[in-house]
Structure 1
Amino acid sequence: MEPIRKHFGNELPFTLLLDYKETKSPQRELPDHQHDWYEIIYVYGGKGSFFIDQTFYEMRQGDVIVVPGNTVHRGFPDNEEPVTSSAVFFSPGLILNQPYSESYAYLKLFDAAKQNKQYKYTLSPEHAGIVQNDIDAIHNEREQNRTDGGQALTLLLHLTLLHLNRYCLPQTAGPLTSNTLLPDWFREALSYINDHLNQPLELSSLAGRAAISPAHFSRVFKQRLGMNVTDYIATKRIFAAKDSLLQSSGTIEQIAMACGFESMPHFYRTFKKITTVTPAAYRRNSRTH
């Protein structure tokens, strides 16, 4: 399924948008999507997972997730204890067009995230409090709607980015080396899985495509994603099934088969394990919201 492209309307008074302290609903989260603007997510509490650039991250209190522009991502709040977070969206032009920003790379955290394939950072309580204050200041400024609000928001955004650069990146970071990057075969394997969810995906065949041993494939997969190959494939298939349940009129059996499940009992067990509800209940409950 192709990712959705989210657009931010030109009618916005500033090229900055804030979703302030929202408790996320699993039923109302966008499917895989991307947008031109950059995004900063700060987690106040709750549980959930976040998918970005073919990687899953657990979300907990004090976490910061940075989303560079045009990067496919989506959130998965926990059904029982959903995440409460703030999200700051901004046009990179708001940073790059400032004359005083040329000597300091305010977007270097986003550049490092793309290069290192690391998008989540966990702040200490002290630093989390500072970033929370930064977000509160942006929220309060937007609420005031002053004539000079655009200038104030730009300054507050720069301060927030400066703090994030200080707290999320090592102060004496050396040059990045190739061993910090994902191996090419690993990225290709993730892409192949994503594009062939409706087909059989066995560890041995995936390892064969990568020209490595199944044991090495499985070990690296677990280290990089925090879950084994089978669980990752099952999770991706259920995510695809959830999207289809909401966006198509196909029967549950048709959707299960299209997402690569060979039997309905297996599909029902896996769906209930990951979402805590049945496919029919998920479709019914989502359409009532």
Structure 2
Amino acid sequence: MLINDSLLYEPKHSIIINDLNNNLFYYFDYDERNAAINMEFQHFHQFYEILILLAPEANHLIEGNSFHLKMGDMVLLPPYCLHKSIYNEGQSSKRLVINFMLPADLFGLPNGYSSLLKPFFDEVPIYRFSQEQKELLYKKLNEIFLYSKQDDYKQSELNELIIHTKFVDFLNTILRFKDQSIYSNTDENQTPTALKMYEVSSYIHSHFDEALSLDFLAARFYLSPYYLSHQFKKITNFTVSNYIQMTRIKHAQHLLITTNHKITDIAVSCGFTSFSQFNRVFKKINHMSPRDYRKNGY
């Protein structure tokens, strides 16, 4: 059992309560990541997520915006928010990721739970707390960790209720502290060019349903098309065109899962000029049609 800045941590330890078929779901993942397994593109999922960085630094993309993280920073992500972590080259980075789902009417207290989840919907849902505040938050997580290590934990009929109760206390503490966050998005290693490219990617995420092209974005950001094309690929590993398509398809996936809208309407709302184009790009990225994607409930 390792202690990282007062947070109990054990590599590959996990705590699982129910599964995604159950509206009350928890998955605590104590593990490491490195640059070799950085995701290619941003992803989303149907549950809430908390990332607590236990390494000196990393970066996180949220809807195309780049945020620099330091040890102890907490990233709070609502369902269907496009994001990915970017870990540095070299030694693996420790982190705790908590995935969870709460039914809207859990215990008949919908208003209370919606209040608990407010920090996930802040404009910048990244929190950096004082050492004293972190220690109080870690103490509550450590109670969950130690409870999960008890010999009779898995056999207990109370484990679901106890984990949930302790986690609600943890969420309430974040809510109490959230306006005292001292997070500042500063990264001395980010070049002005990289920052500009992330401005472009953020714009794509905010305007994916509009007519976008390399020439339009170059004019919008006062860059030459050649320069934008070259630098965007260098920073994001995607061409501008591919990035636009990936962003549109990710939003289409979300709508296919969460709505009953006609697929042709989804194609238009995500910025595609024709259904045939949408269908072709969707199949290329997902290796199945939009109809099959919806049918399989991905």
Kindly state the Cα deviation for residue 17 of structure 1 after the two structures are TM-superposed. 0.4
In 1, Cα distance between equivalents of 2:230 and 2:208: 13
Kindly state the Cα deviation for residue 72 of structure 1 after the two structures are TM-superposed. 0.9
How many residue pairs end up in the alignment? 197
In 2, Cα distance between equivalents of 1:194 and 1:26: 28
* Runs of 4+ residues deviating >6 angstroms: 11-14, 185-188, 192-195
8 A contact 1:193–1:233 mirrored in 2: no
State the partner residue of 1:142: 148
Kindly state the Cα deviation for residue 103 of structure 1 after the two structures are TM-superposed. 4.2
State the partner residue of 1:119: 125
Kindly state the Cα deviation for residue 229 of structure 1 after the two structures are TM-superposed. 11
Q: Output the aligned Cα RMSD.
A: 4.0
Q: Counterparts of 1:1-289 in structure 2 under 5 Å?
A: 9-10=19-20, 15-20=25-30, 22-30=31-39, 31-93=41-103, 96-100=105-109, 102-103=111-112, 105-111=115-121, 113=122, 116=123, 118-143=124-149, 144-145=153-154, 146-170=156-180, 189-191=203-205, 200=214, 204-207=218-221, 214=222, 234-237=234-237
Q: Which amino acid aligns with 2:133?
A: H
In 2, Cα distance between equivalents of 1:229 and 1:122: 35
Q: Which amino acid aligns with 1:32?
A: Q
TM-score by length of 1: 0.56
What secondary structure sits across from 1:34 in the alignment?
Answer: coil
Q: Deviations over 1:256-278 (max 9, x none)?
A: xxxxxxxxxxxxxxxxxxxxxxx
Q: Percent same amino acid among aligned pairs? A: 13
Q: Which amino acid aligns with 1:126?
A: E
Q: Which amino acid aligns with 2:75?
A: I
In 2, Cα distance between equivalents of 1:18 and 1:29: 20
8 A contact 2:200–2:217 mirrored in 1: no
Task: Structure 2: state its 5+ residue gaps.
Answer: 1-17, 182-198, 244-298
Kindly state the Cα deviation for residue 132 of structure 1 after the two structures are TM-superposed. 1.8
What secondary structure sits across from 2:61 in the alignment?
Answer: strand
What secondary structure sits across from 2:162 in the alignment?
Answer: helix
Kindly state the Cα deviation for residue 46 of structure 1 after the two structures are TM-superposed. 2.6
Task: Structure 1: state its 5+ residue gaps.
Answer: 1-7, 172-184, 208-213, 216-227, 242-289
State the partner residue of 1:284: none
Kindly state the Cα deviation for residue 141 of structure 1 after the two structures are TM-superposed. 2.8
Describe the shift of the 1:204–1:73 C-alpha distance in structure 2 as closer, same or farther (beyond 3 A). closer
TM-score by length of 2: 0.55
